[in-house]
């Protein structure tokens, strides 16, 4: 095995280990996300990217549920309901809320096993190289 093959083997093992841990973190986060209507949970996504994966929740309020909210005035712009009724812009005060940290907790839980996953991926790839 030359240097380039070794680097490729290591890189593929790292990326695959990150993806496996990320997939597990996503599943755990779906179990930990607070559910009132289910809209936040249903907005969850996971995407494989070049060097790993991305996971998240697409609702605009996902970040404040995860990290918390310091409180303050929320401005709602004018909008039209599905039946055509127009709701004029309004404001209201929202009290502070503590973050739920459902993504952080799932990442911590899953990625605590990253070393074992990397070791497993590396061994699988090394066995394949040795057979060739």
Please say whether the dihedral angle defined by the alpha carbons of residues 32, 30, 52 and 20, taken in this order, is positive or negative.
Answer: positive
What is the pLDDT, as a whole number, of residue 124? 83
79 lies in some domain: no
pLDDT tens string 72-125: 999 999 999 999 999 999 999 999 999 999 999 999 999 998 888 888 888 887
Mean pLDDT of 23-48: 96
25 lies in some domain: yes
90 lies in some domain: no
Q: What is the mean pLDDT of the chain?
A: 91
Q: Which residues of 2-19 are buried (b: 16+ CB within 10 A; e: fewer)?
A: eeeeeeebeeebbbbbbb
pLDDT at 132 over 60: no
75 lies in some domain: no
- The number of folded domains in the chain is 1
87 lies in some domain: no
47 lies in some domain: yes
Reported confidence tier of residue 130, pLDDT bands at 50, 70, 90: low
* Structural domain boundaries, residue 127: 3-68+99-131
pTM metric for this prediction: 0.76
In angstroms, the Cα distances linking 69 to 58, 87, 91, 129 are: 17, 25, 16, 51
50 lies in some domain: yes
């Amino acid at each position: 095995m030359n240097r380039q093959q070794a680097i490729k083997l290591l890189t593929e093992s790292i990326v695959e280990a990150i993806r496996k841990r990320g997939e597990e973190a996503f599943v755990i986060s779906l179990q930990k996300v607070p559910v009132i209507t289910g809209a936040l949970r249903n907005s969850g996504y996971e995407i494989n990217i070049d060097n790993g994966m991305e996971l998240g929740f697409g609702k605009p309020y996902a970040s404040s549920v995860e990290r918390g909210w310091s409180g303050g005035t929320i401005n709602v712009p004018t909008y039209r309901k599905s039946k055509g009724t127009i709701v004029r812009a309004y404001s209201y005060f929202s009290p502070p809320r503590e973050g739920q940290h459902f993504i952080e907790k799932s990442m911590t839980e899953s990625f605590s096993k990253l070393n074992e996953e990397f070791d497993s991926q590396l061994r699988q790839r090394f066995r394949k190289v040795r057979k060739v």
